Amino acid sequence: MRAVLQRVTRASVAVGGDTVGTVARGWLVLLGVAPGDTPAQVEWLAEKVAHLRAFEDTDGKMNLSVLDVNGGALVVSQFTLYGECTKGRRPSFTAAAPPAVAEPLYEAFVVALKARGVPVGTGRFGADMQVELVNDGPVTFVIDAPA
Give tens-digit pLDDT for 40-65: 999 999 999 999 999 999 999 999 99
At 104, the pLDDT band (50, 70, 90 cuts) reads: very high
Angle at 37 between CA 139 and CA 110, to 5 degrees: 55
What local confidence, expressed as pLDDT, does residue 26 receive? 98
Q: Which of 80, 125, 130, 141 is catalytic?
A: 80
pLDDT average, residue stretch 77-96: 95
Phi/psi class of residue 126: alpha, beta or left (left: φ > 0; alpha: ψ in -120 to 50)?
left
Q: Which of 6, 41, 55, 78 is catalytic?
A: 78
Question: What kind of architecture, by CATH, is found in domain 2-133?
Answer: 3-Layer(bba) Sandwich (3.50)
Residue 41 known to be catalytic: no
DSSP 110: H
pLDDT average, residue stretch 83-100: 95
Residue 79 known to be catalytic: yes
* Cα–Cα distance, 82 to 71 (Å, whole number): 28
Residue 130 known to be catalytic: no
